[in-house]
Amino acid sequence: LSSGKEIGLTVRKEENFSDWYGQLVLKSGLADYGSTKGALILRPYGYSIWESIRETFDKYLKDTGHENGFLPVMIPEALLKKEEEHFKGFNSEVFWVTRAGTNNLSESLALRPTSETIAYWAFARWISSYRDLPLKINFWNSALRAEIKATKPLIRNSEFLWQEGHTVHESSDDAQKEVNLILGLYKKLIEEYLAIPVRQGLKSNQEKFVGAVSTASLESLMGDGRALQMATSHHLGQNFSKPFEIKYLGRDNTEQYAWQTSWGTSWRLIGAVAMIHGDNKGLILPPKIAPIQVIIIPIHKKADEGLVKEHTKYVLVDLEQANIRAKIDERDEYTAGWKFNDWELRGVPLRINVGPKDIEKSKLEISRRDTREKITIGRNELVQTICSLLNQIQNDLYTKAKEFLSSNTTPAFDFETFKKIISEKGGFITAGWCGRDFCETQIKEQTGADIRIIPEDDDSIMENIECVFCRQKPSVRVLFARAY
């Protein structure tokens, strides 16, 4: 057995963020590397967080009239090529199956990089009249992309778990309403459950989803000041319904092409939780998504074993009856100190120590993972105190992340300042942009920062704002950042 020190993180977050994150993912038991480049194995602890995210979001989707379905992972080449922009955008990262057993296939099959093409091929057969609309289906599956850029666990992998929603509507307005509805659900999930504040807005033409009319996105800032796209919702217009011939007989008895949306988020949300809330002791999980909210540690000598173990069971029952996810660490082969480190590494929000003295005095000692503060309470205050502490931690994590986001969002009025902020401070830069691809590309090439979003919550077009690159007026205020 290794000592507590050895199981902990050996790299500090503020010194080498990337290595710290890599150790955090591996040592906390979230995930392990797969056997091929960029592949990742999700371990039970990581998967239970994914289940927690999935259950929450799945309920939102069902409450708003969506249903789940299943799609095959292989897509014939001809189908993937049907929408030209879409194919061009994904072509370089598609894995192809070219052989079945010992026979070469007459047509290559793509392992889905995303499922628009196969889903819409089917939708065209399911839809014939306005009575068949809206069609709102979600798929919980995985997608495969041969990553050319450096891979990163949970953030950029050759296969990842996600959900992809696909909807079909009678009008562009209906599709836009769906785009907004879904973005709102993502925002609720990410802000209220993951305690991660986001900025919301539209992608630029160059950054939007290939094949979409527009892409709305939620962006957040990781602990190293790099942005991460958290979830996207695309208005596809009729860009896919035309090549895939998704037509319906309208209320006016004329045949029309349908309007569509697609949207998704992935297990990168777990990576974001780790990067934003984690510290040098390990993960810090927001209580709402923590698979274990309270860990109970029996502390005893041989003589007190029976008494202490019995009492931990009473504590567990009290918590479970209040719907708190709690667990007793009954591993006798580890010391209490080893267990403290282990649960800190795994980010369990609260720890309760139960020893013979506590039982005698009818007290309990509680430790908060986020602040590492210790609180002694009366045994009869247990449930009430735990509930209020879990709420408090959830709120405190959000507030702390929000302060980080605000203090790392900096305005730049000229390109020299822009370059200085990017190289010295990082984070989001709010700056003017004239709308031209040329300036966007120049800025990206010279600084590595791209337009994350054109925020919807800013007063967009302003007569007096100059483009940070060419100084042209009027411009839109946008958020730039270097991103994952």
Pairing of strands 159-169, 259-266: antiparallel
Q: Are 356 and 308 in contact (CB under 8 A)?
A: yes
Q: How far is the CB of 447 from Zn ion (least distance, A)?
A: 14
Residue 354 to residue 364: CA distance in whole angstroms: 6
Considering the complex, state which of residue 182 and residue 422 has its C-beta at the smaller distance from Zn ion.
422
* Type and span of the H or E element at 63: helix 44-63
Considering the complex, state which of residue 434 and residue 454 has its C-beta at the smaller distance from Zn ion.
434
Spatial CA neighbour of 157 closest among 145, 166, 169: 145
Considering the complex, state which of residue 187 and residue 471 has its C-beta at the smaller distance from Zn ion.
471
Q: How far is the CB of 435 from Zn ion (least distance, A)?
A: 8
Spatial CA neighbour of 417 closest among 464, 472, 468, 479: 468
Residue 369 to residue 391: CA distance in whole angstroms: 13
Q: Are 219 and 198 in contact (CB under 8 A)?
A: yes
Among 467, 476, 478, 479, binds Zn ion (CB under 5 A): 467
Q: How far is the CB of 433 from Zn ion (least distance, A)?
A: 6
- Judged by CB under 5 A, the stretch of 55-63, 172-180, 272-280, 465-473 that binds Zn ion is 465-473
Q: Cβ neighbours of residue 28 under 8 Å, at least 6 residues apart?
A: 45, 274, 282, 283, 345, 346, 347
Considering the complex, state which of residue 75 and residue 467 has its C-beta at the smaller distance from Zn ion.
467
Phi, psi at 446, each rounded to 5°: -85, -20
Considering the complex, state which of residue 309 and residue 436 has its C-beta at the smaller distance from Zn ion.
436
Spatial CA neighbour of 383 closest among 312, 299, 321: 321
Considering the complex, state which of residue 345 and residue 434 has its C-beta at the smaller distance from Zn ion.
434
Q: How far is the CB of 467 from Zn ion (least distance, A)?
A: 3
Considering the complex, state which of residue 178 and residue 440 has its C-beta at the smaller distance from Zn ion.
440
Among 19, 470, 474, 483, binds Zn ion (CB under 5 A): 470
Number of residues that bind Zn ion (CB under 5 A): 5
Q: How far is the CB of 377 from Zn ion (least distance, A)?
A: 60
Considering the complex, state which of residue 470 and residue 483 has its C-beta at the smaller distance from Zn ion.
470
Spatial CA neighbour of 374 closest among 395, 332, 344: 344
Largest CA distance in the chain: 85
Strands, E assignment, 206-250: 214-221, 227-237, 247-249
Query: Which residue has tokens 């000041």?
Result: 225
Residue 236 to residue 215: CA distance in whole angstroms: 9
Q: How far is the CB of 238 from Zn ion (least distance, A)?
A: 31
Considering the complex, state which of residue 202 and residue 443 has its C-beta at the smaller distance from Zn ion.
443
Residue 28 to residue 410: CA distance in whole angstroms: 33
Q: How far is the CB of 476 from Zn ion (least distance, A)?
A: 10
Considering the complex, state which of residue 112 and residue 452 has its C-beta at the smaller distance from Zn ion.
452
Considering the complex, state which of residue 382 and residue 439 has its C-beta at the smaller distance from Zn ion.
439
Q: How far is the CB of 225 from Zn ion (least distance, A)?
A: 24
Residue 170 to residue 167: CA distance in whole angstroms: 10
HSE-up of residue 323 (Cα within 13 Å, Cβ side): 1
Residue-wise DSSP of 380-439: GGHHHHHHHHHHHHHHHHHHHHHHHHHHTEEE-SSHHHHHHHHHHT-SEEEEEE-S-HHH
Start-end of H helices in 243-381: 268-277, 305-321, 336-345, 356-361
Site for Zn ion in 202-221 (CB under 5 A): none
Q: How far is the CB of 483 from Zn ion (least distance, A)?
A: 20
Considering the complex, state which of residue 324 and residue 429 has its C-beta at the smaller distance from Zn ion.
429
Fill in the per-residue mask, 348 to 367: x = in contact with Zn ion (CB under 5 A), - = not in contact.
--------------------
Considering the complex, state which of residue 231 and residue 467 has its C-beta at the smaller distance from Zn ion.
467
Q: Which residues of 374-390 are buried (b: 16+ CB within 10 A; e: fewer)?
A: eeebebeebeebbbebb
Is 469 near Zn ion (CB under 5 A)?
A: yes
Q: How far is the CB of 412 from Zn ion (least distance, A)?
A: 13
Residue 46's SS3 state is: helix
Q: How far is the CB of 472 from Zn ion (least distance, A)?
A: 5
Q: How far is the CB of 133 from Zn ion (least distance, A)?
A: 41
Site for Zn ion in 423-462 (CB under 5 A): 434, 439
Pairing of strands 135-144, 67-69: parallel
Q: How far is the CB of 439 from Zn ion (least distance, A)?
A: 3
Contacts with Zn ion by CB under 5 A lie at 434, 439, 467, 469-470
